[in-house]
Amino acid sequence: MRTLEPIFEAIKKSAFRIQKAITDEDTDYSSQSNQSGDIQLKLDILSDLIIAEEFSYIPLIKAIASEEKEEEDILNPDGELCIAYDPLDGSSLIDVNLSVGSIFGIYDGEWDAKKMIAAVYVVYGPRLEMVTAYKGNVRHFIYRHERFRELEQIHIGEKGKLNGPGGTQQFWPTHHKQLIDTLFDEGYRLRYSGGMVPDLHQILLKGGGLFSYPGTTDKPNGKLRKLFEVFPFAYIYELAGGYAIDDKGGRLLELGCENPHDTSACFFGSKYEIDRVKEFYGATK
């Protein structure tokens, strides 16, 4: 029977190696930029190489696609799984010593959200943590005394207290500003660091809330990439009992993806807040 254990083990090994690199290496920029036009840090490139190397030992993996590379890499033509990953999300926060993360989406045979079978993220913060969503469970691990130890499973509540609004307010549509202001008027607290991994992790662990990255006048389809960031977190939130929708009110996991670097407006949260999003966006789905 097919098992994803070797993949989870490879992610644990790369997490340990990347955390060490974050601690030991400097935060200089390289002379290269990625597909989205961001100038890459040397650490972005190194993290990408570490993950690609750990995955290269696993025959089950057919192809990998990284936020830091233009095209997919075929590892094993006879393999079954395709893995999309963002090796070091939020890396521009490292020089100010805020938390960052790695994100993985595991797809059965093709780059299609409907074929996602598991998703994983790693948080590099004061502590090293990993969350896996697979076969109905969202499992939470913490690295302590040289190994990952499992904590309680993660379930998001029906209504939270945190609000993480992404993007530049100057470019928000009016109805989005009204949504965010209304949540603050209801007592929600601002929790937005600029790193989607720790920001979404906080909302999950503190029982719920809303993380949003809307379409804006300068970026109508938002900033966050479907394959590497949006779909994996949509999978994790839904499995934890939460919701993940776009600005039309439909499930993110039902969206297509023509180009590996396509982006989408996205909203992740618990039931109450996602209902509010639909109300303010006039979403009918």
Q: What are the residues binding ligand AHM (CB under 6 A)?
A: 38, 67, 86, 89-91, 166-167, 194-196, 223
Q: Work out whether strand 39-41 and strand 29-33 pair parallel, antiparallel, or are unpaired.
A: antiparallel
Pick between residue 21 and residue 117 the one whose CB is nearest to ligand AHM.
21
Pick between residue 167 and residue 208 the one whose CB is nearest to ligand AHM.
167
- Rounded Cα distance, 43 and 56, in Å: 20
Residue 247 contact among Mg ion, ligand AHM, none, beta carbon within 5 to 8 Å by kind = none
Q: Does 86 bind Mg ion (CB under 5 A)?
A: yes
- Where does residue 168 rank: exposed (0-12), middle (13-18), buried (19+ CB within 10 A)? exposed
Q: Which residue has the tokens 């090796």?
A: 87
Residues near Mg ion (CB under 5 A), total: 2
Q: Does 48 bind Mg ion (CB under 5 A)?
A: no
Q: Does 247 bind Mg ion (CB under 5 A)?
A: no
Residues from 6 through 35 that contact Mg ion (CB under 5 A): none
User: Closest approach of Cβ 21 to Mg ion, in Å?
Assistant: 17
Q: Which residue is nearest to ligand AHM (CB)?
A: 196
Q: Which residue has the tokens 């650490």?
A: 43
The residues pairing with 213 across neighbouring beta strands, listed in sequence order, are 266
Q: Does 89 bind Mg ion (CB under 5 A)?
A: yes
Q: Does 129 bind Mg ion (CB under 5 A)?
A: no
User: Closest approach of Cβ 223 to ligand AHM, in Å?
Assistant: 6
- Rounded Cα distance, 4 and 132, in Å: 11
Report in angstroms the alpha-carbon separations of 80 from 58, 65, 75, 132, 151: 11, 14, 11, 19, 30
Pick between residue 62 and residue 201 the one whose CB is nearest to ligand AHM.
201
Report in angstroms the alpha-carbon separations of 282 from 52, 163, 173, 266, 279: 42, 20, 13, 15, 5
At 187, list the tokens.
Answer: 């007592």
Q: What is the CA radius of gyration of the chain?
A: 18
User: Closest approach of Cβ 224 to ligand AHM, in Å?
Assistant: 6
Residue 196 contact among Mg ion, ligand AHM, none, beta carbon within 5 to 8 Å by kind = ligand AHM
Which amino acid, 225?
A: R
Residue 195 contact among ligand AHM, Mg ion, none, beta carbon within 5 to 8 Å by kind = ligand AHM
Which residues contact Mg ion (rule: CB under 5 A)? Answer: 86, 89
